[in-house]
Structure 1
Amino acid sequence: MASKLVTYINPRCFTVTLKTQNRSLSSNPGSRILPPINQSQYRKQILLANLLQRYGFPSSTLQHFLSRNNFLLNSDLAETETSLGILLSLKIPQKSLVSLICDCPNVLRSEFLRKWRAPLSECVSSSAIKSVLEHSSRIGIDPDKFYECTKVLKGLGFCDSTVSRILSEFPGVLVVNEIEFRRKIEFLIGIDIPRDNIERFFHIFPEILGIGTETRLKPLLDEFKKMGFSKDEIKKEIAREPRVLGLELGELSRCLELIKALKCREVIRVRILSEGAFRAGFEVKLRVDCLCKYGLIRRDAFKVVWKEPRVILYEIDEIEKKIEFLINRMGFHINCLADVPEYLGVNLQKQIIPRYNVIDYLKLKGGLGCDIGLKGLIKPSMKRFYNLYIKPYPECERIFGKRKENARAKQRHPPGLWKLMKPPSHVTTREDVVNMKSFIESLA
């Protein structure tokens, strides 16, 4: 029983539990009270669980978290509470704090936080503090590196918001030396990026500091030129979207091959290529990265984009909303998109959510004979879905929205316009009648 973790938010519950446990053990003649050391460990588990719950930890994850981090049970509870207080004093939001401790529990070590408390108090954003703490606890970076890095960045003329942005998005900058900073700036100037635009470039794409100049950036430019893009076109696209330099070697060519192989209506193809082939290929890369971020393997992500080309025209935010609704609300796995990519091509508010609400209602009511998968939810036309799931259940009309069966088609032209467009009629004269009769007689 001592091995099980029971969490209680109220400390009184903890006392009652121990008393009940001891009473039950002493009531049986063959039983004996737990050894003091085990009882002490059990008590410490509950106190530590209560402490973590007060700082926002969900009770469902506490047992797993404490079982993987035994050093917390061996450490002083007062020091652990002090460490949590230091993290809160750095103005880290509660949700980010829980995420940080779950991913890097070493941040709760008192000696680690004492070293980093003063340096991190200079950071502007809480996201930068979280990234630096997470990165430094994993690879063992000292605050001296932090001071050196911020000194170099500010010496280059970067403002505090840009420094925080770089630390937040790319904490690996702490191990980048000043020489590498200079090389990146020289590279950008070499491709005609204005000096007054350098800071904006690093603000938008701080990950460039982790990309090798000789091994990746220069070969990437050579690849763009071999693909037939001019120097001006490359410069224009990089200045417009710095993340272009984050492309892997050969990635853009693969995206352009996918666009050439698309089987879609010509109007969609024209819209995809409306801003040029370079931009279209990069948009494909962004959609593939978005799908991979949620768990799809790269091959399946390309397959989804190829089967549903309209994804290239949608904003990333819209795609993410649909994926999050699919996973969190509908309960499907991300791999379902490989079989039903059409899901990403329909409207979330007008089609996906109303259909899901109807199916969910019928499932709770027991009106479905079998489980309806994602394909059965998305594939049927509006008329077929209405006849199958809404017409037999009048109460679903309110959930799905009223269907106007007898609604008149909207007229595209004002009434009476046909009279103005009607050509004038030809007046038949007596001479025309005589000519027609003579022509018919000649045929006879």
Structure 2
Amino acid sequence: MKNNLQKLTTPLILKWGSSDYLFNNFRKVRFYATKNTAKAKLVEEKECDMPSAVRKDAQTALLEYLHSTRSLEFVDAEHMSKNSPLFLDKLLERIVDREADDIRRCVTRYLRYHPINEFEPFFESIGLKLCQYAAFLPRDVMYLSDDQRLLDSYRVLCNYGISRNKIGRIFAEAPQVFRYDPGVVELKLASFRGVGLDQSNVVKLVSANPHLLLGNVHVEFLRVVEKLKRMGVEYRWIEEQLNGKPINWSQLFELMCFLNGLGLTDERLGKLICQVPGLLFDFSGRPTFSLIGFCLKFGFEKTELLDVFLHLPQIPISAFIFNMRQCYQFLIEIEMPALEIRNILHSHPTLLGSCVLKKTTSLLTILHTGKKRLCSVIKENPEFLRNLVRGAKVERLPVAEEELRSKMMKTKFLSDLGFAEKSSEMKKALKVFRGKGVELQERFDCLVNAGLDRKHVASVLKIYPQILNQRKEVLEAKIDFLLNRLGFPVSTLVSFPSYLSYTIPRIRLRLSMYNWLRDQGKVDATLALSTIIASSEKLFMKVYVSPHPKGLEVWQNLKREIYPV
């Protein structure tokens, strides 16, 4: 099945046919009414204000020219003359005696000596705007009769019943259709009748979806329609889903075969597609492929994947997979173990695809809880995720029994040290402390065992309670470094308790640099330990390191030695 997935997840890019002819033969041409694009748009938006009698005479003259002089079929010439008002207006601008009584004669005379580029009124008459067709005007060809393939395809489409003013859309979206050999367009249109579509339906289909006439797209379309009909899906419903958007029909067929392979019968699949049209028709099924790949990544079996599709909620499939990925990301952010995430994905895929969660940081703040507790709550009851969606009022989690017991132990610990109950000092310490009450007592004992008096430790904690947030082993290592490596007495911790807040590498670097500068006679030999360690790096560099010519070099060498890459 995974091999089939690799085959399915090729880029869903509609492969258009060759357009070499268009790029080689159609160029913007300079003829008597040439204007740049900006001016062309202004002309296009300008209303034709010529009197109706003048317009009618001009149309008649143009009709006679196209039919009698240029030998275009009468219906083609008539349509062009009556449906190219902008061209007519520009044509009249070229006639000096516009106010003449016989406009028809003036236009006829003008056209006799000034042949026009027939592609311009042709393109305008089929519904294209100047800004759309300007790039397609041929460079060296003026007469429609010189492009027989264009005329043949145009007449085939007209004779089939496609409105002339809608053929412009076909030209704009599928210009290759007008480069086909004679008879090709007829065969493509006739092929749609093979699945039971009558001519009126084919006309509507092709007018709204010109890409169906490109290459073998019509063959792939017919294959999909036949399969959908076997599933009990009516063509009228299929037509409603198209809405003129290009679709990779080959990809859709592969997707339906894949879903059949999961165990869905044609009848069940037909009902599912009608319930969730986006399963097939949203971006040619790309979100569905994404969902399949996401589930397979977490080891879903066929039966589990089938269950996901049978229980899809009434939301767009793209929204479903987006929500699923967002929920997965949320579980990652709260540091849930990978195995637990996998279990929730397997047991509650529909739930994850239905929930639009708030941001993780916001939820942790509102719930007033930590990641570990939230993981535990979701693990016990995944449905709890429904309470965390956007728009829902999120309630603060009730205090857990273990958390309540830990808080009581912390309060007792602080009371024993002399903190007044409910005082600002106690509130500050409770907010800052991390860990359990038992752990705080162990860390406190570590400081006392190092030789400090209990009263001194208690007074220090009122100012710097955060020093007890470090593990017992870390505190012991820092005290040992102070006493045995640096040679300072333990009483230093009373005057400089924040020493315990800094890392050993920082302390080593600062003191090593200070000792070198002291040996060079560049610093005061009686500097306090707090001045050396607690000052910011920027200040330390400016005051002590940079003034010495070799200071920066020694500093970098010490850094590489103490902080190896």
Both proteins in one fold, TM over 0.5: no
Tell me the TM-score range normalised by the shorter chain. Answer: 0.3 to 0.5
Q: Which of the two has higher C-alpha Rg?
A: 2
- Higher RCO structure, 1 or 2 (CA under 8 Å, sep 6+): 2
For normalisation by structure 2, the TM-score amounts to: 0.32
